[in-house]
Amino acid sequence: MGSGGVLDQLRVPVVQAPMAGGPSTPALAAAVSEAGGLGFLAAGYRTAAAVHDDIVAVRAATDRPFGVNVFVPTPDRVDRSLLAGYVERVRREAVTYRCATGDAVWGDDGWEEKLATLVVERPPVVSVAFGCPGAEVIGRLHGAGIEVWVTVTEPAEAEAATAAGADALVAQGIEAGAHRGAFSDVDGVGEIGLLTLLRLVARVTDLPLIASGGLCDGAGVAAVLVGGARAAQLGTAFLDTPEAGTSAPHRAALRGGRRTLLTRAFSGRRARGIVNGFLARNTALAPAAYPHVVGLTAPLRSAARERDDPEMLNLWAGQTLCGRRSGTGEGGICGARWSGCEVLCVLRARGGRVARCCAIRGRAAVGLRGALRSADAWRPHTGPALTLGLFHQPPVATPIGRPSAVSKRRSPSAVRRISYSPSWCRLW
């Protein structure tokens, strides 16, 4: 696989995050791809036959690239005593809620069947979470002409994915909504902020990076592009679009102004969701038992959707939800029921405000005036020569808010003598 691949075909560097459990739909994936980004289908919790139908539906709606996300099976290493105690706790909740509970059992989510479907259907990209497939599996997908992206949350995971033959890495910061894509579900592992994670991962691999976590507007996209990512992956930003399959109570919660927390209460694996009654009552006691707890709580969550009750639902959302501004005015995009295409247009408009942010390539200062506005500027200076001005000197205020002249000396130290004022360096 080439170093650019599908990313080079995008008109805008925005990837729609795969959101399993309902929000991801063929209509949403097609809308994002048609708008110039990369739409994604979520194969998690779906049968191989349903995934096949989804792929067919996307191809009927667009001829642009798209991707499919699958979950790597996790080992069945659950503490049975802790799980048994949590099963009893959830059953008491279910009695109060007047519904049943499901079976708390392990499963591989139809891994082999889905792999077989993907090899036959050949979507341009397959991304994985919860681990890294072996080199044999990645080679099998490569043999079908499929790029393989691996979700990583630590530099060590990035090294392992690179060694296995991955084509790109989805760097998932702790700000991200929904499940942590870490290779192991251990507290304290894979809990690094996105910008820091990008820099750490870039030290151990040359693979293209897709930044994921807390990105909800053009300024956020601009920040991760300058930070070294080739594209930004957004999920929460698309949850309230008409094409998404997000439930009504989940949509309402997105506008409710509540904070988010990591929890295992709904699935037995760390995931970021909006705080509600079930999360608050059960997070402290929920064991690391995925996918056992997914099956256990499935009937409660289904009943809550039917009753439009947000207090018993997994309301996955990223941290930037807390800074959301509703509507189409200045600010973010979450909470406004725009289409997937309109979301991308807004992201481009917001990102275009990065008017005077300055990057250094080689020995020249290059202004990113067209950043996030034109097709070329969506891929700003991704070569190995890219460095960022380190701004070692204290900020120097300039009367018109523009960067002072960069020294014409050609030594590396000249790059570090850029002075700036907050008025032009800030990402609006």
CATH of the domain at 203: 3.20.20.70
- Which pLDDT belongs to residue 336? 54
- How many Å apart are CA 146 and CA 362, to the nearest integer? 34
Characterize the bridge pairing of strands 14-16 and 358-361.
unpaired
161-164 — which CB contacts under 8 Å span 24+ positions? Answer: 161/132, 161/205, 161/207, 162/204, 162/205, 162/207, 164/132, 164/133, 164/134, 164/135, 164/138
Q: Return the structure tokens found at 167.
A: 């084509």
Q: Quick one: 263 and 407 in the same domain? A: no
Q: Quick one: 278 and 388 in the same domain? A: no
Q: Return the structure tokens found at 105.
A: 């059992």
SS3 135: helix
- How many Å apart are CA 352 and CA 222, to the nearest integer? 9
SS3 279: helix
Q: Quick one: 366 and 335 in the same domain? A: no
Contacts of 193 (CB under 8 A, 6+ apart): 173, 174, 175, 213
Are the CB atoms for 165 and 148 separated by under 8 Å? yes
- How many Å apart are CA 278 and CA 296, to the nearest integer? 14
Contacts of 124 (CB under 8 A, 6+ apart): 6, 65, 66, 67, 146, 147
Phi-psi category of residue 93: left, alpha or beta, with phi > 0 → left and psi -120 to 50 → alpha: alpha
Q: Quick one: 341 and 359 in the same domain? A: no
- Which pLDDT belongs to residue 334? 54
Q: Quick one: 335 and 359 in the same domain? A: no
Q: Quick one: 405 and 312 in the same domain? A: no
- How many Å apart are CA 319 and CA 193, to the nearest integer? 11
Q: Which domain-ending residue is among 309, 327, 346?
A: 346
Closest CA to 227 of 250, 260, 200: 200
Q: Quick one: 208 and 234 in the same domain? A: yes
Q: Which domain-ending residue is among 346, 370, 398?
A: 346
- Which pLDDT belongs to residue 4? 57
Q: What separation, in Å, do the N-terminal and C-terminal C-alpha atoms of the chain show?
A: 36
Q: Quick one: 259 and 408 in the same domain? A: no
Q: What is the DSSP letter of 152?
A: E
- Which pLDDT belongs to residue 322? 52
Q: Quick one: 156 and 272 in the same domain? A: yes
How far is residue 415 from each of residues 368, 386, 405, measured CA to CA in Å?
Answer: 16, 12, 11
- Which pLDDT belongs to residue 341? 74
Closest CA to 286 of 301, 305, 299, 271: 271
Q: Quick one: 372 and 328 in the same domain? A: no
- How many Å apart are CA 45 and CA 312, to the nearest integer? 19
Helix H segments across 152-288?
Answer: 155-164, 194-202, 218-226, 248-254, 277-282
Q: Quick one: 103 and 157 in the same domain? A: yes
Helix axes 155-164, 194-202, angle to 10 degrees: 50
Residue 412 structural domain: 353-428
- Which pLDDT belongs to residue 321? 78
- How many Å apart are CA 308 and CA 96, to the nearest integer? 17
Phi, psi for residue 316 in degrees, rounded to 5: -60, 135
Per-position b or e across 49-59, b if 16+ CB within 10 A of its CB:
eebbebbeebe
Are the CB atoms for 62 and 33 separated by under 8 Å? yes
0.85 exceeded by pTM: no
Q: Which domain-ending residue is among 323, 346, 369?
A: 346
Q: Strands of 386-387's sheet, edge to edge? A: 364-367, 358-361, 386-387
Q: For tokens 């020569």, what's the residue?
A: 385
Q: Quick one: 303 and 396 in the same domain? A: no
Are the CB atoms for 382 and 13 separated by under 8 Å? no
Instruction: State the total domains in the chain.
Output: 2
pLDDT profile of the chain (428 residues), mean per 10: 77 95 96 95 98 98 98 95 98 96 97 98 98 97 98 98 98 98 96 98 98 92 94 95 95 92 98 98 98 98 96 96 46 57 67 33 29 36 30 32 38 32 30
Contacts of 39 (CB under 8 A, 6+ apart): 16, 28, 29, 30, 31, 32, 33, 58, 62, 64, 66, 67, 340
